[in-house]
Chains A and B, each alone.
Chain A
């Protein structure tokens, strides 16, 4: 008995020696430089831990999810977007998401249940689709409806698989039941550039609060999401005032 235990311990040590050492930075995916301080890393350093689940919620959840997707796709990771039929592709591109490495999979959305296209399918397929995607893409973006359509057990299996594959799960909208590693709450503070019948939407001041598991108090930052070019930029105090639109005179109808 004791011999077999000893042999097993030897075997384990041999096996452990065979496992390649994984450097800390290889377990991380990059984050947008503006979001880096929120994640507690220097701008330019990777900060998104592989295997983590990131929940983006709040009124700017979709843009926030784009901002999380952007940096990994720029360095060669693939992203899969499931069950978000109304995603604004232009906005994603403006935020830096590389579209040639982003695939969109249509999901069974409850709102479009009337449509009988082949792109909608049942929830049992949904679990299979997600688990197939987990194998290949490193950033998997799911809508709240997709998470709600699969059972909790399936979700936990997926999470385990995600951790072994080293991907990151990004959920848009708070599904509540999922245990998130990182919670990003993006709240719209104000919209800039539009007046009473004049101007156009230019930029939005968003307050992003990051609460991570096993981290102390949540970190918070004010950013322009999107800024006037559609990107993401830091909201410094100098430019925090409204965009000066000059002295606007209302149009007056003549004749």
Chain B
């Protein structure tokens, strides 16, 4: 197993130990606004435990791994921030972009940690030391553009425990060097060569293997119990013995601790920026000219996709006028958009905007197309048994046209959500989000095994559901308002329903069916529901009524 290992690649690492904290502060801690006091103790929770905490919280005794209660016990005024990996990644993006101006091939190990090969960049800037300085400056520059002078980036960084840059042979050594750099307050450059790397790694405790290299905690624990407390202890063993004891893991382990791990940074080139835009020197207020300009943009984009055998399925179209009015809309077509389909969509959007009622007050100065979703053009497989009919295609075209007129939110389909209230059983989702193929809409589960909502009104369902309930009065035979007690008793049988245009007699009624929902948050609702049949002038009419705090509402009509 003593394969001849190649020289590990020389790597640079830019590392921030508690990036989630920085991201949380950049985003504005929930409920606290953008103002941020640097001495405010902060901690990020992950899986019910403290994931990382700010220096202020550390001083008060909060430690990673604590439970919520323990952390609050140690530091009562600590602000606990929920863990949001998406937010962390989003906030890290400006830093990545800034560093990317020097080193285009970056390996983002996690938000807050960047790994790159130094071979090219180091030669470009004139040595590893100069590279570390440039990387530190670029990361700071990226951070300060992201916070846009709201917060001092240095103060912000100190919240996350600072920023370290390290250069060494191999991933593990470089990462440890960056961590060491944070403690030392200046970049750390480990001399090249296996001897220097091994000497740098030797004093590190094996616990760093699980924290940095992602080794199993159990394995690290076993090493410690075997008396192998430092990297040097493990590296001193023969790789044969490690393989005998730990199998293939032993081999990896030895390479890690002796600094001969030659895994190259998995650097991927950044995705090309496909945004294509045109600025007009003279504002354009003629619709035809705009469509013509859009056509040339689309042609350019279409050529790019055709050359690469790709097709765009989701595109954002943005237009902006001289006065800053903008029309931004995302268009989606599951089968992919060719040039004419894309031009159609731009035309529909601009038509609805420029010739609509809410027309812009000035000429258009900017038109941009931003492809959001691209996939390989593998063609579209038609359903074998005529899955997609001419009616579907015609409908999809017409509906897209209507979306251009009323906006994507105005055209909806119903998607089953469930619930005991007829108003919330179906959710109206914009068709632009699901696509007009009818397959992504949730259907109501049917059949004998379909789960039933407890407390839902039994079938049949009302044919008219008022999303703004109608306030009414319900009186008993003595013209007193009918009420429902806290225990669900009706004060008297309803006999008259008073609406704004007259009184009608209640001929039959059922209920009350009390509903007490969500008492744990602000959407709490405590109502009693009734079905009322009244004798209207044109025959009986049935309503679903709700009474809450003494007020009656008609929420639905069985029309």
Contact = CB atoms under 8 A, between A and B. Distances in A.
Interface of A: 58-63, 66, 76-78, 80, 85-94, 99-106, 111-112, 117-119, 121-122, 124-125, 128-129, 132-138, 187-191, 194-204, 226-230, 253
Interface of B: 356-357, 389, 391-392, 394-399, 401-402, 405-407, 409-414, 422, 425-426, 428, 431, 436, 438-439, 441, 443-444, 457-468, 489-490, 493, 508-511, 531, 533, 536, 538-542, 556, 558-559
Given A136-B395, A191-B508, A200-B531, A228 B467 contact: no
Given A100-B413, A196-B493, A90 B426 contact: yes
Given A60-B559, A195-B510, A132 B401 contact: yes
A90 B461 contact: yes
B436 to A, nearest CB: 8
Contact of B411 (A62, A103, A190): A103
23 contacts: A59-B539, A62-B559, A78-B394, A86-B465, A87-B465, A88-B463, A90-B425, A90-B462, A94-B460, A99-B426, A105-B411, A112-B468, A118-B409, A121-B406, A122-B357, A129-B402, A134-B398, A135-B401, A137-B395, A194-B508, A195-B510, A196-B509, A198-B510
A101 B460 contact: no
B413 A105 contact: no
A227 B509 contact: no
B413 A104 contact: yes
Contacts of A135: 394, 397-398, 401
Contacts of B460: 91, 94, 201-204, 226-230
B461 A94 contact: yes
Contacts of B508: 191, 194-196
Contacts of A195: 508, 510
B401 A99 contact: no
A191 B559 CA distance: 11
A229 B395 CA distance: 30
A128 B401 CA distance: 10
B410 A76 contact: no
Given A102-B414, A194-B531, A197-B493, A89 B426 contact: yes
Residue in A59, A76, A101, A195 whose Cβ sees the most chain B Cβ within 10 Å: A59
Contact of A59 (B412, B465, B510, B541): B541
A119 B531 CA distance: 31
A191 B493 CA distance: 18
A199 to B, nearest CB: 5
Contact of A88 (B391, B436, B462, B490): B462
Contact of B396 (A63, A125, A136, A230): A136
A76 to B, nearest CB: 5
Nearest to A100: B438
A63 B559 contact: yes
* Chain A residues touching B, majority SS: mixed
Contacts of B509: 194, 196-197
A28 to B, nearest CB: 15
Q: Which 5 A-B pairs have the closest CB atoms?
A: A136-B398, A100-B438, A90-B461, A226-B460, A78-B395
Contact of B413 (A61, A102, A196, A201): A102
Given A190-B540, A228-B459, A137 B398 contact: yes
A101 B357 contact: no
B461 A230 contact: yes
A200 B512 CA distance: 11
A97 to B, nearest CB: 10
Nearest to B407: A118
B512 to A, nearest CB: 9
Given A87-B464, A90-B426, 19 more contacts: A58-B538, A90-B425, A103-B395, A104-B412, A104-B428, A111-B468, A118-B406, A119-B407, A122-B357, A125-B357, A136-B399, A187-B538, A187-B539, A195-B510, A197-B511, A200-B510, A201-B558, A204-B558, A230-B461
Contacts of A111: 468
Contacts of A201: 460, 510, 531, 533, 542, 558
Given A59-B536, A104-B413, A105-B402, A99 B461 contact: no
A129 B410 CA distance: 11
A94 B459 CA distance: 8
A171 to B, nearest CB: 15
A60 to B, nearest CB: 6
Contacts of A66: 463
A187 B405 CA distance: 37
B558 A101 contact: no
Contacts of B468: 111-112
Given A85-B467, A136-B397, A253 B489 contact: yes
Nearest to B415: A99
B532 to A, nearest CB: 9
Nearest to B558: A201
A132 to B, nearest CB: 4
Contacts of B490: 197
A85 B428 CA distance: 11
Contacts of B457: 200
B414 A191 contact: no
A76 B391 contact: yes
Nearest to B434: A100
A191 B540 contact: yes
A230 B426 contact: no
A227 B407 CA distance: 38
Contact of A86 (B444, B467, B511): B467
A119 B540 CA distance: 34
B541 to A, nearest CB: 6
A119 B409 CA distance: 7
Nearest to A78: B395
A200 B455 CA distance: 13
Residue in B406, B490, B493 whose Cβ sees the most chain A Cβ within 10 Å: B406
B463 A62 contact: yes
Given A119-B409, A135-B397, A62 B414 contact: no
Contacts of A60: 463, 559
Contacts of B407: 118-119
A128 B405 contact: yes
Given A78-B391, A191-B508, A200-B510, A121 B357 contact: yes
A167 to B, nearest CB: 10
A220 to B, nearest CB: 15
Contacts of A89: 414, 425-426, 465
B411 A118 contact: no
A59 B394 CA distance: 34
A132 B413 contact: no
Given A121-B406, A187-B539, A103 B412 contact: yes
Given A196-B493, A229-B459, A125 B406 contact: yes
A86 to B, nearest CB: 5
B538 to A, nearest CB: 5
B208 to A, nearest CB: 55
B458 A125 contact: no
A195 to B, nearest CB: 6
Contacts of B558: 191, 201, 204
Contact of B559 (A59, A100, A197): A59
